[in-house]
């Protein structure tokens, strides 16, 4: 079924149809297209295009279609539909007749595909976020197991200074932590809904796009219809994040390929991730790591291709953009698969501790320790560096390590060297001295593991309570009808407060302060702080307020969140907090805190519990507990803005 044709006298050629159709690629967005259609049907009901009975019939048909697609997505490929949008519409018409033809009212394939793709990106990005955390966890498990294992560190592929194998693991944990940050930032910017932008100029129907965005699980609607339908920054950003992460995976793989070689012999890979030779029976090849290394180029190629596709496109939508999905789908599939394979590699890795220790003891890796020893004897470092270079030459001539030179032999180079030098030249001493933050000492490795574990727990909590991903779409699908019914009569509008709002804000704050729910604030205080307030309106009437108090660069507190009793249960409190969180992201705050008696409300918005005693004294003093409440019931919570 084609969604166009009235303008044409002749049918498109079979050759063009094959060239033009995108169903073999975009069929993967079937669920997202159905979810978007359900939300659009609800939106059309609010502007009287559809009746409640028609809406119920469409929702039932779309739900059945969604369940069928989830059970057997490949059924779509049996169709000759042009794309996933025409397939869904055709299947809906089969179920509902002419009613199905009404669903596309006010909507274009341009805003439809942009919405579908963003929903897909959010879901897939959430899954990859978990895969990154899983790989970090596997590496931390390996680091814990091998935190005391000595490993030669390298620069220029020459032995440099000894490190621990655990420290090596944590270097990649840090890389993947930056990948997590990049992915979360990309998903944050992708979390805006284009639906309702039409072909390029916006829909002619008075759809509440903010409510529509909320029903689909987006944090807000896009602000410009031209940009909304032609923006593919989210595709490029995800491909960029994937390319950087694949580069890290490739470095990880290359290190292990070298460590696994017969020349090094530091590690042996599990049989589960290795293959053999068809000719040489003794071979055990590190194919998993070699494939990870090779696939990095494939992902980077997708990024380059997308950049070239977009670099000279005029506004607004152009058919060139149909090329966005194939490379994106392949790249993110590849990224995800490589992350999971890397977990298998790390989980099954065997480390030859005797071999790594022997290698670390060779190559004069303790030369820097001898130089530092001479510095402690009041010899300038540059001179000490020269002296140790001469000592190394002598040790090479004698074919022995530095610590095997006698005291007499060492004193030929400097009379500052004494018997205590040998305690500084041991591997243990070399490692233990690196106790500085980020160092390779066993103590620092243990601290780093504990710190990273705490951060990963926060990421996993975010996935449960609101990070972009599959769960959001499922929740949005279940709640879309209930939310619309509850908010149909009152569209929420949140804005920055004005001086004309002072009396209403004071009235609301005073009312709830008398009830002991919040701390009181004077009218003068509200006047002086009005620029930090937001208000929620229904039909032009202010029904709630909240404020953001900035303590210092990067830190702020949300205060004075109140909503009129008559407006409770309609989402104004959540909308105001979300508005302040969005504003915090715009002005580059890093952390938002609250002191609250209702932690469940903030948990749903992505806040996590913290120890109240960890807050600075001035914060506690500014936010002393209400005299009407039990102080023990007040808890502290924090929200990390933009992945900081």
Strand, helix or coil at 636?
A: strand
pLDDT at 622: 59
pLDDT at 119: 96
Does the structure show a pLDDT above 80 at 81?
yes
Using 50, 70 and 90 to split pLDDT, how confident is the model at 460? low
Question: Are residue 59 and residue 117 in the same domain, yes or no?
Answer: no
Question: Are residue 553 and residue 614 in the same domain, yes or no?
Answer: yes
Answer yes or no: is 479 within a domain: no
CB 329 within 8 A of CB 28: yes
Q: What is the pLDDT of residues 395-411, one digit of tens each?
A: 888 888 787 888 888 88
pLDDT at 72: 93
Arithmetic mean of pLDDT, 566-580? 85
Q: 366 versus 93: which is more confidently predicted?
A: 93
pLDDT at 456: 60
CB 360 within 8 A of CB 268: no
pLDDT at 334: 97
pLDDT at 517: 83
CB 386 within 8 A of CB 393: no
pLDDT at 143: 92
CA 331 to chain centre: 16
Question: Are residue 80 and residue 167 in the same domain, yes or no?
Answer: no
Q: 94 versus 161: which is more confidently predicted?
A: 94
Q: Which of 516, 510, 512, 508 is nearest to 537 (CA)?
A: 508
pLDDT at 185: 93
Does the structure show a pLDDT above 50 at 469?
no
pLDDT at 628: 62
Final residue of a structural domain among 357, 391, 417: 357
Distance CA 517, CA 633 (A): 12
Answer yes or no: is 284 within a domain: yes
Greatest mean pLDDT among 72-76, 388-392, 568-572: 72-76
Using 50, 70 and 90 to split pLDDT, how confident is the model at 484? very low
Distance CA 118, CA 231 (A): 10
pLDDT at 165: 94
In whole angstroms, how far apart are CA 444 and each of 145, 360, 428, 432, 562?
A: 15, 19, 14, 9, 46
Look at the alpha carbons of 202, 208, 209, 210 in this order and tell me if their dihedral is positive or negative.
positive
199 burial type by CB count under 10 A (0-12 exposed, 13-18 middle, 19+ buried): middle
Distance CA 218, CA 235 (A): 17
Question: Are residue 309 and residue 409 in the same domain, yes or no?
Answer: no
Task: Please confirm, yes or no, whether 167 is among the known catalytic residues.
Answer: no
Final residue of a structural domain among 105, 135, 151: 105
Distance CA 527, CA 283 (A): 78
Residues 6+ apart with CB under 8 A from 579: 494, 534
Q: Which of 344, 335, 356, 370 is nearest to 121 (CA)?
A: 335
Final residue of a structural domain among 85, 105, 125: 105
Question: Are residue 214 and residue 249 in the same domain, yes or no?
Answer: yes
Arithmetic mean of pLDDT, 210-238? 95
Answer yes or no: is 390 within a domain: yes
Residues 6+ apart with CB under 8 A from 588: 554, 642
Question: Are residue 198 and residue 340 in the same domain, yes or no?
Answer: yes
Greatest mean pLDDT among 17-21, 274-278, 347-351, 437-441: 347-351
Question: Are residue 624 and residue 543 in the same domain, yes or no?
Answer: yes
Residue with tokens 């924090």, as numbered in its chain = 638
- Identify the bridge partners of residue 635 per DSSP, sorted by sequence position: 596
pLDDT at 489: 32
Question: Are residue 393 and residue 506 in the same domain, yes or no?
Answer: no
Using 50, 70 and 90 to split pLDDT, how confident is the model at 432? low
Strand, helix or coil at 236?
A: helix
pLDDT at 3: 57
Helix extents (H) in 311-380: 324-347, 353-361, 367-376
Answer yes or no: is 445 within a domain: no
Distance CA 384, CA 142 (A): 37
Which CATH number fits the domain that encloses residue 524? 3.40.630.30
Q: 173 versus 470: which is more confidently predicted?
A: 173
Arithmetic mean of pLDDT, 602-624? 79
Does the structure show a pLDDT above 80 at 590?
yes
Arithmetic mean of pLDDT, 52-71? 95
Number of domains in the chain: 4
Eight-state DSSP code of residue 275: B
Is residue 87 within a helix (H) or strand (E), and if so which, with residue range?
A: helix 84-96
Helix extents (H) in 197-286: 209-215, 225-230, 233-260
Q: What is the pLDDT of residues 97-143, one digit of tens each?
A: 999 999 999 999 999 999 999 999 999 999 999 899 999 989 999 99
Helix axes 84-96, 109-145, angle to 10 degrees: 110
Residues 6+ apart with CB under 8 A from 644: 554, 590, 591
pLDDT at 434: 58
CB 521 within 8 A of CB 509: yes
Answer yes or no: is 451 within a domain: no
Does the structure show a pLDDT above 80 at 532?
yes
Answer yes or no: is 8 within a domain: no
Question: Are residue 385 and residue 505 in the same domain, yes or no?
Answer: no
Question: Are residue 336 and residue 219 in the same domain, yes or no?
Answer: yes
Q: What is the pLDDT of residues 286-324, one digit of tens each?
A: 999 999 999 999 999 999 999 999 999 999 999 999 999
Which CATH number fits the domain that encloses residue 419? 1.10.40.30
Q: What is the pLDDT of residues 492-507, one digit of tens each?
A: 578 889 999 999 999 9
Of the chain, the percentage scoring pLDDT greater than 90 comes to 52
pLDDT at 384: 85
Q: In which domain, by residue range, is 141 found? A: 110-357
Does the structure show a pLDDT above 50 at 470?
no
pLDDT at 457: 60
Q: What is the pLDDT of residues 227-263, one digit of tens each?
A: 999 999 999 999 999 999 999 999 999 999 999 999 9
CB 427 within 8 A of CB 150: yes
Question: Are residue 127 and residue 46 in the same domain, yes or no?
Answer: no
Out of 13, 261, 277, 522, pick the active-site residue.
Answer: 277
Does the structure show a pLDDT above 70 at 6?
no
Q: Which of 211, 238, 177 is nearest to 46 (CA)?
A: 211
Does the structure show a pLDDT above 80 at 34?
yes
Does the structure show a pLDDT above 90 at 597?
no
Question: Are residue 96 and residue 131 in the same domain, yes or no?
Answer: no
Task: Please confirm, yes or no, whether 37 is among the known catalytic residues.
Answer: no
Answer yes or no: is 464 within a domain: no
Q: Which of 228, 193, 186, 199 is nearest to 118 (CA)?
A: 193
Does the structure show a pLDDT above 50 at 482?
no
Mean pLDDT (the chain) is: 85
Does the structure show a pLDDT above 50 at 474?
no
Which CATH number fits the domain that encloses residue 302? 1.20.200.10
Answer yes or no: is 537 within a domain: yes
Does the structure show a pLDDT above 80 at 91?
yes
CB 325 within 8 A of CB 262: no
| Cis-peptide into 386, omega within 30 deg | no
Burial letters 171-189, b for 16+ CB under 10 A, else e: bbbebbbebbebbbbbbbe
């Amino acid at each position: 079924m084609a969604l166009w044709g009235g303008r044409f006298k002749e049918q498109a050629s079979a050759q063009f149809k094959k060239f033009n159709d995108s169903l073999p690629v975009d069929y993967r967005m079937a669920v997202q297209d159905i979810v978007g259609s359900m939300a659009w049907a609800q939106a059309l009901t609010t502007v009287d295009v559809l009746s409640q009975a028609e809406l119920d019939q469409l929702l039932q048909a779309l739900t059945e279609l969604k369940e069928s697609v989830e059970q057997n997505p490949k059924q779509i490929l049996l169709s000759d539909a042009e794309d996933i949008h025409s397939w869904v519409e055709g299947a809906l018409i089969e179920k509902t007749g002419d009613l199905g033809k009404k669903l596309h009212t006010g909507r274009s394939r341009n805003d439809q595909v942009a919405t579908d793709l963003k929903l897909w990106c959010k879901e897939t990005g959430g899954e990859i976020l978990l895969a990154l955390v899983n790989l970090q966890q596997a590496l931390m498990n390996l680091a814990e197991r091998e935190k005391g294992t000595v490993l030669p560190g390298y620069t220029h592929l020459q032995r440099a200074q000894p490190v621990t194998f655990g420290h090596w693991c944590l270097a990649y944990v840090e890389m993947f932590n930056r990948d997590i940050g990049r992915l979360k930032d990309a998903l944050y910017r992708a979390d805006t809904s284009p639906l309702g932008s039409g072909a390029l100029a916006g829909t002619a129907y008075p759809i509440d796009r903010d409510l529509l965005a909320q029903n689909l699980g987006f944090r807000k609607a896009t602000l410009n219809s031209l940009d909304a339908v032609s923006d593919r920054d989210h595709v490029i950003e995800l491909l960029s994040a994937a390319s950087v992460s694949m580069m890290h995976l490739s470095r990880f793989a290359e290190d292990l390929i070298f460590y696994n070689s017969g020349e090094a012999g530091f590690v042996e890979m599990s049989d589960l991730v290795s293959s053999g030779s068809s000719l040489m029976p003794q071979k055990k090849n590190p194919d998993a790591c070699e494939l990870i290394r090779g696939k990095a180029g494939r992902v980077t190629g997708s990024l380059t291709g997308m950049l070239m596709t977009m670099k000279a496109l005029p506004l607004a939508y152009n058919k060139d953009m149909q090329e966005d999905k194939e490379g994106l789908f392949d790249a993110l599939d590849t990224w995800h698969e490589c992350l999971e394979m890397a977990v298998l590699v790390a989980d099954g890795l065997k480390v030859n501790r005797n071999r790594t220790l022997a290698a670390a003891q060779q190559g004069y890796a303790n030369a820097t320790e001898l130089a530092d020893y001479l510095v402690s004897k009041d010899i300038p470092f540059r001179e000490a560096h020269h002296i140790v270079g001469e000592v190394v030459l002598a040790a090479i001539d004698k074919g022995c390590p530095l610590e095997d030179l006698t005291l007499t032999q060492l004193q030929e180079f400097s009379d500052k060297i004494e018997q205590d030098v040998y305690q500084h030249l041991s591997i243990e001493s070399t490692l233990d001295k690196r106790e500085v933050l980020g160092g390779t000492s066993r103590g620092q490795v243990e601290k780093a593991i504990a710190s990273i574990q705490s951060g990963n727990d926060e990421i996993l909590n975010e996935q449960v309570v609101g990070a972009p991903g599959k769960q959001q779409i499922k929740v949005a699908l279940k709640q879309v009808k209930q939310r619309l019914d509850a908010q149909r009569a009152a569209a929420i509008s949140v804005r920055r407060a004005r001086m004309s709002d002072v009396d209403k804000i004071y009235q609301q704050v005073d009312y709830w302060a008398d009830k002991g729910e919040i701390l009181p604030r004077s009218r003068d205080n509200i006047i002086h702080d009005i620029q930090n307030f937001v208000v929620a309106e229904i039909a032009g009437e202010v029904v709630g307020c909240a404020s953001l108090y900035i303590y210092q660069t990067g830190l702020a507190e949300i205060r004075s969140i109140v909503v009129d009793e008559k407006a409770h249960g309609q989402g104004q409190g959540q909308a105001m907090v979300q508005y302040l969180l969005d504003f915090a992201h715009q002005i580059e705050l890093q952390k938002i805190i609250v002191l609250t008696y209702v932690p469940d409300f903030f948990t749903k918005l992505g806040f996590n519990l913290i120890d109240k005693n960890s807050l600075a004294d001035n914060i506690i003093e500014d936010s002393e507990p209400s005299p009407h409440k039990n102080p023990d019931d007040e808890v502290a919570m924090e929200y990390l803005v933009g992945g900081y």
